Amino acid sequence: MNFPDLFDAFDAAVLPPGLPDAAVLRLRHDTVARELAAGEQLDLDPGRAFFAFLGVGACKLAAFVSSAREQIVSFHFAGDVVHVPAQGRYGYTLSALTDAQLLVIPADSLSRSGPDSCGMLRLASRETENALARSRETSIILGRRSAQERVASFILAIWDRLGAGSQDDGWIDLPMSRGEIADSLGLTIETVSRQFSELRDLGLIETEGRSALRVIDLPGLSRCAGQLPVAA
C-alpha cells in the first residue's frame, strides 16, 4: 500500500465525515507514511506526541522501564489508531511485530488552531479517550488479577480482536512472542508459558507451534479470566 491508499483508508475508517477539504488537505500534508519490518522500531522525535494509523500489520507500544525489561502498554492491529505520547517519566516506542505500514501524524497538527480544525480536535480527543479507557482496564488487570486471569483475559482480548475477521477454521496467529505477552501482563515468560499449558490441559484452548491458537471453550475461558458481567 502506498501513501495515497493508506491515507484513503485512514480517511474512510477514522476521519469524521463532513470535514472541510482544506482541513483534510492540511492533515494530509502533515502526515508521513512509514514502512516497518518485523521487529523494527519507529524512530520519532521523543519530545513530541504522535498518532499512528496502522494500515497493515501489528505493533506494540512499549514504555522503557529498565534495560532488563520493558512494559508493553498495548498491542495494535490493522485499522487501529495508536496514541504515542511524548516522553515524560518514561520513554515510549512503537515497534512492529510483523511487517507493517503506517501513517504518522503529529498530535499538534490535529490541534492546530483554525476555524476548520474542530473536527480534527474532536478526533484527537476521541482517540485519546479510547486509549485512556484501554489503559485504565490494563491497570485494573495488572492490579488485581492472578497470572491465570491475566493470561485468560489476554487471550480473550486477542480473540475478540483477531478471531472474528479471521479464517473460518477458528485458528488465529499470535503475532507476539511469549516474552512480549509477559511484558504486557507484568509476568515472566515462564509463568505465561505455564498458564498457556494449564489452559490447554483444561481444554479451554488449543495451540499449535509457536503462534497458532484456537479458543475451544469461550465461556470457560471467560470464567477463568474472572470476568464479571458489567454491573447493571
The contact set with DNA (CB under 7 A) reads 146-148, 177-179, 186-194, 196-197, 207-211
219 binds its own copies (CB under 8 A): no
44 binds its own copies (CB under 8 A): no
Please say which residue, 106 or 226, places its beta carbon nearer to DNA.
226
Please name the residues in contact with 168: beta carbons below 8 A apart, sequence gap of 6 or more.
none
Residue 211 binds what, of its own copies, DNA, none (CB under 5 to 8 Å, by partner type)? Answer: DNA
Spatial separation of the C-alpha atoms in residues 172 and 154, rounded to whole Å: 14
| Closest to 192 measured CA to CA, from 140, 151, 145 | 151
Which of 41, 125, 146, 197 touches its own copies by CB under 8 A? Answer: 125
CB of 213 to DNA, least distance (A): 10
CB of 38 to DNA, least distance (A): 10
Residue 147 binds what, of its own copies, DNA, none (CB under 5 to 8 Å, by partner type)? Answer: DNA
Long-range contacts of 24-27, Cβ-Cβ distance < 8 Å, separation of 24 or more: 26/109, 27/105, 27/109, 27/110, 27/120
Please name the residues in contact with 148: beta carbons below 8 A apart, sequence gap of 6 or more.
195, 198, 199, 224
60 binds its own copies (CB under 8 A): no
Which of 21, 29, 47, 115 touches its own copies by CB under 8 A? Answer: 115
Query: Locate cell 508521513: which residue?
Result: 32
